[in-house]
Amino acid sequence: MGTFFKEKTKPGDFLSQYSSVFNSVEGNTTFYSAPNKELVAQWADRTPDGFKFCFKFPKVITHIKALNNVENEVREFLSLFDDIRHKLGPFMIQFPESFSPKELPKLERTLSILPKTMGYGVEVRHPDFFDHGKNEHNLNTLLESYGIERIIFDTRKLHSTNSSILSIQEAKRKKPKVPVRFGAFSSRPMVRFVGVNDILNNEAYLKEWAIVVADWINEGRHPYIFIHSPDKISQPKLCTHFHKLLSELIELPELPEWPVNREAQLGLF
């Protein structure tokens, strides 16, 4: 607060200010607990037309029950968003590293009950899903058959960095180190990039992703790109810089001024 958001912003106003600049958000809160329909409606009301939420499936489905007998939980969770379908990007189905190729039959059963009126992406972390062989082929074939994206999680820069900065050390401890794949399985590919806290040291990776994303857009796809930094406060500047790099390759509308800058401009008069 004070670098992106207006000074003295109340928690209830963060979303509206964020969505006045950026057009999508990872819905991490749903990973920890499912909201009620009233709260979901409030989130939608606080965002402009065209804004998209990418909500995570609750961890009780993906981590605690590990897709065992979760049909009711899946249906109940998705029903919470029936009234805001126009505000939905792909749901994010994120698995722990313990979710291995032997779990694919459970994944297929779960994918088979997902409403086709919504979009989805799956993020895997088990190393066998990156074997360039049978296991990876089976996963990719399954996802493509259901029109579901394989979420790309890029932590290359984070894990190649030697730093004494506590936020980076903590992020390296928490974030998995998995190989990066650059393919798109659907019309809405999704990339989650976790770098470091400054623009310069992320530059090469952001330029690389700008080229990939520009190609996707030229192919008629609608990618979702989420850029993270360990200290959180640097995320808006990294996202804004990525938009700049992408706009050098394809035509994009300019990003609006950050809320804090709009407040400063108002204060001049």
What domains, with CATH codes, occur in the chain? 11-266 (3.20.20.410)
* Predicted confidence pLDDT, tens digits, the chain (269 residues): 458 999 889 999 999 999 999 999 999 999 999 999 999 999 999 999 999 999 999 999 999 999 999 999 999 999 999 999 999 999 999 999 999 999 999 999 999 999 999 999 999 999 999 999 999 999 999 999 999 999 999 999 999 999 999 999 999 999 999 999 999 999 999 999 999 999 999 999 999 999 999 999 999 999 999 999 999 999 999 999 999 999 999 999 999 999 999 876 655 44
Residue 65 has phi, psi (to 5 degrees) of -90, -15
Angle of the 134-145 helix axis to the 104-112 helix axis, nearest 10: 10
d(Cα 231, Cα 103) in Å, to the nearest integer?
A: 34
The pLDDT of residue 268 is: 45
> How many CA atoms within 13 Å lie on the side-chain side of 142?
21
Is 156:180 a contact under the CB 8 Å cutoff? yes
* 185 vs 95: CA distance, rounded Å: 18
Beta carbons of 175 and 158 less than 8 angstroms apart: yes
Distances (CA, A) of 245 to 32, 71, 191, 227: 34, 42, 16, 13
**pLDDT value of position 265:** 62
What is the Cα–Cα distance from 213 to 154, expressed in whole angstroms? 14
Distance, CA of 75 to CA of 46 (rounded, Å): 25
Task: Check if the beta carbon of residue 209 is closer than 8 Å to that of residue 193.
Answer: yes
Collapsing DSSP states into helix, strand and coil, what is residue 65?
A: coil
The predicted pLDDT at position 266 comes to 52
* C-alpha distance from residue 13 to each of 16, 124, 166, 203, 245 (Å): 5, 33, 29, 31, 29
pLDDT at 269 (0 to 100): 43
Backbone angles phi, psi at 207, to 5 degrees: -65, -40
Distance of alpha carbon 196 from alpha carbon 175, whole angstroms: 12
